[in-house]
Structure 1
């Protein structure tokens, strides 16, 4: 399986004199919208009056790849395990640090909340096993050297 994308700059970006203010676009197919990337504000990238980034950064995309991979892997494992669930919510935080004189994303923490249907308390153990299998099988997480810490919480719906 092969994946492709194109990264390019527009004429508008090329006209900017300050390289910190330049952005680029990523395109993965003509069917999907392009994604704009910039430097994080902490490294000189653009930000608004509240110090919020104006577009996605490579660090955002990296964390999104790890988080999204967990979700899609969980989707496959839960379907194959006949685990019915109502919702999965994942929040992620990443830590950029210097390790052996190299700046890198040293750790990503995923806080995963899985909501099972009301009356399915007997499936809590099965749900935890599915979450753990998804963690072990996520191909993107298995491809990186960043430490990934998953924390799981299982809730039951009130509906």
Structure 2
């Protein structure tokens, strides 16, 4: 039987005005302004929304998971970018984040490592703790490029 391991993460949200607030944590130095996205009544342009943060949590979890697996697997890479697109829809009658597409672009120098790199990208998507914790459909459209980052 495995030992129960738990981690906690505290976040504070303070309302500023209208539909805007500030997220912070006593463990972090930066705060983030958040607001209703502009697609909804009272939404604010140019401010992070819960929807952006939701997608960001999936893409950043993918990146950190990939980094850990790549290190363990001794895969050397030059660069990684992870553009992500989330789709919110009301197909079921209520708005939900129905799909997130991750489009990681990985730059490696060794052509012989391309298949290994693709396997590790796939493993990272499957092992991501955030992705495993949500019901949103997460799709992976990876690209591995051999050459110099740029």
TM normalised by structure 1 equals 0.84
Secondary structure of the corresponding residue to residue 88 of structure 2: strand
Q: Does residue 143 in structure 1 map to residue 133 in structure 2?
A: yes
Q: What is the alpha-carbon root mean square deviation over aligned residues? A: 1.4
Q: Does residue 60 in structure 1 map to residue 78 in structure 2?
A: no
Q: Does residue 9 in structure 1 map to residue 15 in structure 2?
A: yes
Tell me the distance in 2 between the aligned counterparts of 1:138 and 1:30: 22
Secondary structure of the corresponding residue to residue 54 of structure 1: coil
1:8-157 → structure 2 map (5 Å cutoff) = 8-10=14-16, 13=17, 19=18, 22-29=19-26, 31-44=28-41, 45-46=43-44, 53-117=45-109, 120-157=110-147
Task: Write out per-residue CA displacement over residues 62-95 of structure 1, whole angstroms, 9 at most, x where no aligned residue.
Answer: 0000000000000100000000000011111111
Shift of 1:136: 0.8
Could you tell me which runs of 5 or more consecutive residues in structure 2 were left unpaired when the two chains were aligned: 1-6
Tell me the distance in 2 between the aligned counterparts of 1:69 and 1:110: 11
- Paired residues in the alignment total 142
Could you tell me which runs of 5 or more consecutive residues in structure 1 were left unpaired when the two chains were aligned: 14-18, 47-52
Shift of 1:133: 1.0
Structure exhibiting the larger radius of gyration computed from Cα positions: 1
Shift of 1:128: 1.0
> Structure 1: which 4+ aligned runs deviate by more than 6 Å?
none
Tell me the distance in 2 between the aligned counterparts of 1:95 and 1:55: 18
